[in-house]
């Protein structure tokens, strides 16, 4: 824990994420105590795994989920859970990388994630603090304005509803000190910890077996089966394996698929502000960028100040310095001091070079092994689609997003695949 003082008031900040502190860790899950077999083994028990597992229940296959921690206690608990259709790579730039048609499908898939999520989980989402919110994308400076105006036109051109706010309108409506912004009607926020635990509770009721504190150290080929070796000395033999372990999934892949970064976040004390109930998701064009949202108990979440990942110890030592940077960025954005800070934490995440996820089979690797790497700023909206893509792969069917969200677009060296973690 780190004590700080700002404006004469003391605040206590911990390295534990707000969602974990707000919800409590819950009862510990059971670890794997014997060697078992199943049809589908899923590595990871975060939000991506929960959405993938839910989608695979309809296959009728026996599913086992394994995590080295417990449910939602990895990157999911550290997520600030801004749900956006907006990819970190502009539509204009993604068009240059992938072509207009593929870039359009990527953006429209993200836009469709909201209605899909709401249709699948109408009862769970309100319990998990899910709320629709607008999204406000700020031009960080005057130089960024032309690019954002071009981006606005590109988004409108594929049917996404958004509008331009000039400096005066932006300050009048949202008190932001920036030269302009894109305001989109489509966005949402959620408590990722509650959502993940709620999803897995439902999966377990449908027969899924989940084992916590069970680290998978190696994936081996055994005829037509795959065998997972665990740190506890037990094995899980499966017909199909899906790796949904966030940036730790990279341990099972050749180098070069993604870069790992640290991000930092803080939560203020509860505020007596009525505008928080309708506050948009706020982020900006600078890279790295500051991002903000509100919480159900009237706090502000502020995140950003990203730096490259070295190791978890170095990341955590940076927390006080990076929190001060977030405070300074907030003050420059709104022209006022950040309200008193209650908690802060650091987390790590992976980012692909084009900002898109990597979902499905890896060329040159066992076709029964798939990955759901929903990296970048759209992790949850990507994960909504991941289950359908993974299921199609298991059933031997093509999926309409394979070429956009799959590994094939990366130009993978098909001889470099490996299975050892």
Which two tokens mark 411?
């130009």
Q: How confident is the model at residue 132 (pLDDT cuts 50, 70, 90)?
A: very high
**At residue 327, does pLDDT exceed 60?**
yes
pLDDT of residue 301: 97
Asked if 300 and 318 touch (Cβ cutoff 8 Å), the reply is no
Which two tokens mark 354?
């084009």
pLDDT digits 0-9 by tens, 28-46: 889 999 999 999 999 999 9
Nearest to 271 by CA among 334, 340, 323: 340
The stretches of 10-166 forming alpha helices (DSSP H) are 18-23, 47-56, 75-78, 91-98, 100-120, 124-127, 145-157
Burial 218-256 (b: 16+ CB within 10 A, else e): ebeeeeeebbbbbeeebbbbbbbbbbbbbbbbbebbeee
d(CA 265, CA 299): 13
Mean pLDDT of the chain: 91
What mean pLDDT comes out for the span 67-94?
A: 94
Q: Which CATH architecture has domain 31-78+193-257+354-410?
A: 3-Layer(bba) Sandwich (3.50)
d(CA 45, CA 74): 8
Identify the residue with better confidence: 24 or 206: 206
Nearest to 208 by CA among 62, 388, 312: 62
**At residue 6, does pLDDT exceed 80?**
no
Mapped onto helix, strand or coil, the DSSP state of residue 371 is strand
pLDDT of residue 419: 35
Question: Quick one: residue 44, left, alpha or beta (phi over 0 = left, psi -120 to 50 = alpha)?
Answer: left
Q: How confident is the model at residue 96 (pLDDT cuts 50, 70, 90)?
A: very high
Name all contacts of 321-330 with Cβ < 8 Å and 24+ positions apart. Answer: 322/264, 322/346, 323/4, 323/13, 323/264, 323/266, 325/264, 326/264, 326/265, 326/266, 326/290, 326/302, 327/6, 327/266, 329/290, 329/302, 329/304, 329/305, 330/290, 330/292, 330/302
**At residue 20, does pLDDT exceed 60?**
yes
Percentage of the chain modeled with pLDDT above 90:
81
pLDDT of residue 15: 65
pLDDT of residue 29: 85
d(CA 40, CA 225): 10
Residues facing residue 229 across a β-bridge: 218, 235
State the maximum Cα–Cα separation within the chain, in Å, rounded to a whole number: 66
- Name the helix (H) or strand (E) containing 388: helix 379-394
Asked if 118 and 149 touch (Cβ cutoff 8 Å), the reply is no
pLDDT of residue 217: 97
d(CA 106, CA 157): 14
pLDDT of residue 3: 31
What mean pLDDT comes out for the span 59-88?
A: 95
pLDDT of residue 212: 97
What mean pLDDT comes out for the span 144-157?
A: 98
Identify the residue with better confidence: 74 or 128: 128
Q: Residue 260 — φ and ψ, nearest 5°?
A: -105, 135
pLDDT digits 0-9 by tens, 264-313: 999 999 999 888 999 999 999 999 899 999 999 999 999 999 999 878 88
Which two tokens mark 168?
């005066």
Q: Are strands 209-211 and 216-222 parallel, antiparallel or unpaired?
A: unpaired
Half-sphere exposure of residue 235, counting CA atoms within 13 Å on the CB side?
13
What mean pLDDT comes out for the span 126-149?
A: 98
Q: Are strands 188-189 and 135-138 parallel, antiparallel or unpaired?
A: unpaired
pLDDT digits 0-9 by tens, 219-258: 999 999 999 999 999 999 999 999 999 989 999 998 889 9
- Show the CA angle centred on residue 241, arms to residues 47 and 409, nearest 5°: 80
pLDDT digits 0-9 by tens, 328-387: 999 999 999 999 999 999 988 888 999 999 999 999 999 999 999 998 888 999 999 999
| pTM reported for the whole predicted model | 0.92
pLDDT of residue 347: 86
pLDDT of residue 411: 64
8-state DSSP, 74: S
pLDDT of residue 9: 32
Distance of CA 358 to the CA centre of its chain: 13
What mean pLDDT comes out for the span 59-69?
A: 97
Percentage of the chain modeled with pLDDT above 70:
94
d(CA 200, CA 194): 10
């Amino acid at each position: 824990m780190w004590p700080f003082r700002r404006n004469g008031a003391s605040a206590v900040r911990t390295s534990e994420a707000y969602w974990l502190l707000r919800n409590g860790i819950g009862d510990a899950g059971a670890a794997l105590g014997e060697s078992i077999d199943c049809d589908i083994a899923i590595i990871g028990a975060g939000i991506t795994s929960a959405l993938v597992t839910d989608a695979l229940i309809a296959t009728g296959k026996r599913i086992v989920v394994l995590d080295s921690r417990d449910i939602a206690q990895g990157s999911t608990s550290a997520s600030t859970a801004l749900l956006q259709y907006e990819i970190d790579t502009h539509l204009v730039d993604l068009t240059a990388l992938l072509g207009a048609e593929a870039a359009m499908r990527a953006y429209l898939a993200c836009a469709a994630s909201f209605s899909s999520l709401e249709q699948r989980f109408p009862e769970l989402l309100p319990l998990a603090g899910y709320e629709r919110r607008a999204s406000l994308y700020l031009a960080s400076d005057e130089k960024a304005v032309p690019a954002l105006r071009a981006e606005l036109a590109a988004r409108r051109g594929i049917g996404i509803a958004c509008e331009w706010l000039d400096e005066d309108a932006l300050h009048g409506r949202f008190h932001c000190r920036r030269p302009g912004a894109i305001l989109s009607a489509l966005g949402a926020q959620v408590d990722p910890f509650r959502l993940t635990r709620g999803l897995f509770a439902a999966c377990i009721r449908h027969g899924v077996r989940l084992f916590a504190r069970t680290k998978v150290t190696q994936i081996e080929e055994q005829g037509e089966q795959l065998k997972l070796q665990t740190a506890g000395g037990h094995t899980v033999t499966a017909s199909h394996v899906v790796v949904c372990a966030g940036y730790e999934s990279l341990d099972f892949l050749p180098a070069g698929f993604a870069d790992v970064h640290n991000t930092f976040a803080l939560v203020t004390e509860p505020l007596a502000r009525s505008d928080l109930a309708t506050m948009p998701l706020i982020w900006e064009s600078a890279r790295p960028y500051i991002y903000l949202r509100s919480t159900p108990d009237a706090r502000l979440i502020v995140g950003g100040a990203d730096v490259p990942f070295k190791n978890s110890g170095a990341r955590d030592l940076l927390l006080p310095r990076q929190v001060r940077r977030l405070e300074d960025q907030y003050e420059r954005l709104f022209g006022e001091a950040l309200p008193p800070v209650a908690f802060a934490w650091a987390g790590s995440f992976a980012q692909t070079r084009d900002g898109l996820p990597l979902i499905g089979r890896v060329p040159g690797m066992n076709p029964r092994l798939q990955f759901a790497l929903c990296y970048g700023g759209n992790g949850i909206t990507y994960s909504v689609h991941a289950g359908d893509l993974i299921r199609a792969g298991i059933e031997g069917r093509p999926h309409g997003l394979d070429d956009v969200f799959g590994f094939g677009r990366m130009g993978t060296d098909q001889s470099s695949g490996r299975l050892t973690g």
